[in-house]
Amino acid sequence: MSSNYLKDFPLLKQPTANGKRLVYLDNGATTQKPLSVIKALEGYYGTSNANPHRGAYGLSVKATELYENAREKVRHFLGAAKTEEIIFTKNATESLNLIAYSYGLQFIEAGDEIVLSIAEHHSNLVPWQQVAKARGAVLKYMYVNADGVLPEEEIEAKITAKTKLVAVTHVSNVLGIVNPIRRIAAKAHSVGAVIVVDGAQSVPHLAVNVRELDVDFFVFSGHKMLAPMGIGVLYGREELLEAMPPFLCGGDMIEYVEEQDTTFAPLPAKFEAGTQNVGGAVGLTAAIEYLEQTGLDVIEREERELVRYAVERLQQLPYITLYGCGDLTNKTGVISFNVKDVHPHDVSTILDADGIAIRAGHHCAHPLMHYLGVNATCRASLYFYNTREDVDALLDSLSRVRGVLGYGA
């Protein structure tokens, strides 16, 4: 893993509060930002900021152009057919809620089944619980195997003629396993169901083409792929978005408002109420440019090499339990683990003293934690700018955790 990316990431070069070299291994939560993204934000607010779509003056026209250029950049990045199929939101969570409350409440009926995987993040699980309760639908789960992989027999058995919607993560934020989306989409469509894919942990790490995957909805958050916080994306097939009622109502999303009723603006504006995050969209444009210049194939390859190195070293520690690391064939850089006798929060605190930033907790995945038989885990989530030296630092610090707490080796 080359560390020549570090020159682009100011935050990764600064020491931690206690003067240690920062080893940032929480990329599943959010990624750090390259200078090109930071400068894009500065440039927008320094030269081009205005409220888009509303002003007839030059600055507003410029802001509108930047915003709509960002939409075209995302369309191309996801391989979508039309810019009308790209909706900007705040984040993946808002995108998933938009689908649940607009598509779900409109088209799911009593007795219909909604199929999830047990590895869903709460953002792609709790909204569907609300829809199931509101409409009298049934929630069913596809369960992963001991290696965190979704078996073919679960896909085949759980998606049936009663299934109306399948909502599944492309990559689990706990297990890091890449799910067989094309296969799941084919099965969903064979029974007349739609498929919603949560791409929050896949889009930053591997090339995604929504038409090749044949998905109906696909979401992601910009901040997990080098972009600023506050900008997210919902992709939806045009015909489905056209049939859906608005999610949020107000300015920009209307065509005409009378005292008792309103006609709505065409796509994508129908789903973009109020003043939009133009700065975030400009930052997302710069983030996509950075990823495309680096190469998602390069990112995926380098990450797989690094995760293999990390897992091989972790497997040599007898007091470490790994989750989702038995089959590395389709695995991104997410590594969940526990240290014998030590709570993940204590592991994280001890690692922090050595400059190492990992996540500890339930990772917004309570049902998966319960299924794995744990309350919480530690999680190191690698990205292309991490290095073998970062992994070695993690292992060195982990080797001291039990000793620090008096458990011996």
Ligand X SMILES: Cc1ncc(COP(=O)(O)O)c(CN[C@@H](CS)C(=O)O)c1O
Interface residues with ligand X (CB under 6 A) are 28-29, 91-93, 121, 123-124, 169, 173, 198, 200-201, 221, 223, 359, 363-364
Distant-in-sequence, close-in-space partners of 2: CB < 8 Å, separation ≥ 6: 302, 387
Contact 406, 347 (CB under 8 A): no
Contact 323, 175 (CB under 8 A): yes
Q: Kindly tell me which of 63 and 168 has the beta carbon lying closer to ligand X.
A: 168
Instruction: Give 183's strand partners.
Output: none
Q: Closest separation between CB of residue 8 and ligand X, Å?
A: 22
Q: Following DSSP, what letter does each residue of 245-258 receive, concatenated?
A: PPSS-SSSSEEEE-
3-state secondary structure of 138: strand
Q: Closest separation between CB of residue 316 and ligand X, Å?
A: 26
Q: Kindly tell me which of 186 and 229 has the beta carbon lying closer to ligand X.
A: 229
Q: Kindly tell me which of 25 and 244 has the beta carbon lying closer to ligand X.
A: 25
- Would residue 364 show up in a list of annotated catalytic residues for this protein? yes
Q: Kindly tell me which of 222 and 246 has the beta carbon lying closer to ligand X.
A: 222
Q: Closest separation between CB of residue 284 and ligand X, Å?
A: 13
Q: Kindly tell me which of 53 and 363 has the beta carbon lying closer to ligand X.
A: 363
Q: Closest separation between CB of residue 28 and ligand X, Å?
A: 4
3-state secondary structure of 175: coil
Q: Is the peptide bond before 245 cis (omega within 30 degrees of 0)?
A: no
How far is residue 159 from each of residues 18, 178, 187, 248, 275, measured CA to CA in Å?
Answer: 52, 19, 7, 31, 40
Q: Are strands 359-361 and 377-381 parallel, antiparallel or unpaired?
A: antiparallel
Return the active site residues. Answer: 364
